[in-house]
Amino acid sequence: MPNYNNKTIVIHELSGLVAQVLSSSDKNQKGARGRVLKETKNTLVLYTDKGVRQVVKKTSTFKFFYGKKSFTVNGEEINFRPYERTEKALKFYKRRKA
């Protein structure tokens, strides 16, 4: 089981986590909450109560929930392909506080 914390969230797998869109340049995406079904380079696909929603990463801020913990992440920190994020997000990983 991965050790999710405020620092490592940007390099761990996001699929399966519950996510909420705290802010977005698209007003229709703000407040969306659901389970992450799929992740692409530029988007997160969320399964919400209203159906499947695709949210742009780069212009959004997310709150991810893991058990009783929650972590706020700026979309630019995770705007990579999932398999590239472990390498490319290290600069953000180093800046984040544990």
Per residue, what are the HEC states of the chain?
CCCCCCCHHHCCCCCCCEEEEEEECCCCCCCCEEEEEEECCCEEEEEECCEEEEEECCCEEEEEEECCEEEEEEHHHHCCCHHHHHHHCHHHHHHCCC
User: Mean pLDDT, the chain, as a whole number?
Assistant: 92
Hey, what domains does the chain have and what are their CATH numbers? 8-95 (2.30.30.210)
Verdict on whether the full-model pTM lies above 0.85: yes
| Rounded CA separation 28/39 (Å) | 19
Task: pLDDT band for 92, please (50, 70, 90 cuts).
Answer: confident
pLDDT at 5 over 90: no
Query: What is the mean predicted confidence (pLDDT) over 67-73?
Result: 94
Bigger pLDDT: 59 vs 1: 59
| Rounded CA separation 9/74 (Å) | 11
Query: What is the mean predicted confidence (pLDDT) over 3-25?
Result: 92
**pLDDT confidence of residue 75:** 95
Residue pLDDT, tens place only, 27-64:
999 999 999 999 999 999 999 999 999 999 999 999 99
**Chain length of the chain:** 98
**pLDDT confidence of residue 1:** 58
Structure tokens at 83: 């398999």
